[in-house]
Amino acid sequence: MTENLISMISRLILADGTIYLGDSLGNPGETVGEVVFNTAMTGYQEILTDPSYYGQLITMTYPQIGNYGVNKYDFESRKIFASGFIIREYSPMVSHWQADKSLEEYLKHYNVTGISEIDTRSLARRIRKKGAQMGMISTSDDSNEELIAKLRNFPTLVGRDLIRDVFTVKPYTWRIKDSTEIDSNNDKLKVAVYDFGIKYSILRKLENYGCNLRVFPGDTPSEDILRWKPQGVFLSNGPGDPEPLEYAISSVRSLLGKIPIFGICLGHQILGLALKCKTRKLKFGHHGANHPVKNMLSGSIEITSHNHGFMVDIDSVPLNEMDITHINLNDDTLEGFRHRNVPAFSVQYHPEAAPGPHDSRYLFEQFINDMKEFYA
């Protein structure tokens, strides 16, 4: 599978005035978002369809992207949620037995604007030094000054409620056609899933561990969750700043002690806020599939998958009520906690790891055990 590409000049404009010239990738046009970088070597299809990337322009630091194409099996949601895509070298030649589209065709299908032939090493270094910032990809004929002025009128992601644009509009029961990993030793446990931007791999993994899943919109009141009579509540990943999500924080707070809770990523931050912790924005976030995390309970080191720009402030954790269970070894930030008095725990990273390693999938077993013990 190969493509005949006619290059169109495109520009990446950063809020600090930096300009990168490159080739248009995907749908020509203009798009704005927070520029972040992801260090994963593979998994671009899963990354693009992760709703946690809503509002962001994703930079892949691996030098060549697109060589295994796109297939119908590796979607993590109903569409591409990333605002744009930035890469060094695009591979027009696709070689994979499951591929049915090229990356270029995939981006065009969802009207996503990207740019290639960018010095992504320089861009990643700039983000690391100055922090994540708003950016624009454009194929327009406007001057650099006009584009910079237009870009600076766009708000940052801080203080914005982004999850209403990504979560389901009505509850649904999750079913997969082919589940070869289901643990037949587990009785089916009813789990209510708060969708703040859920990935399909999380739902697959919960079902594989023997859970009957009902997915609810992220603004569902707690009483509606309890009316379904679940045996556990899962708090999903999602995009943006957790602090504006008071409706979700309030609902989770009212569920504490009534039912076992497991949160990841944004769900981890919402649980932290429900427990009176504080959150803050990271300088350039954690985005990748190779972040080392130390399990403080076992002493083991897990290589983990991350995608978040905010975190729970480790100094705000009340150590008389909560145990810190996981620490990021790159920057010593909080990666997980467990409450001592109620069945609630969470991690900042993605234990389903799609893409990424499988070191942390034991956390799903921990959730299963919490539910069984709570109702024993």
Contact 179, 150 (CB under 8 A): no
Catalytic (active site) residue 291: no
DSSP 120-176: HHHHHHHHHHH--EEEEEE-S---HHHHHHHHTTS--STT---GGGTS-SS-EE---
Catalytic (active site) residue 352: yes
Rounded CA-CA distance 163/195 in Å is 9
Extract the tokens encoding 240: 């943006």
Q: Kindly name the residue from 76, 104, 207, 352 that is annotated as catalytic.
A: 352
Residue 143, judged by CB atoms within 10 A of its CB (0-12, 13-18, 19+), counts as exposed
Contact 33, 55 (CB under 8 A): yes
Q: Kindly name the residue from 104, 265, 286, 339 that is annotated as catalytic.
A: 265
List, in order, residues 6 or more apart from 187 with CB less than 8 Å away: 210
Amino acid at site 101: K
Extract the tokens encoding 368: 């299963």
User: What residues act catalytically?
Assistant: 265, 350, 352
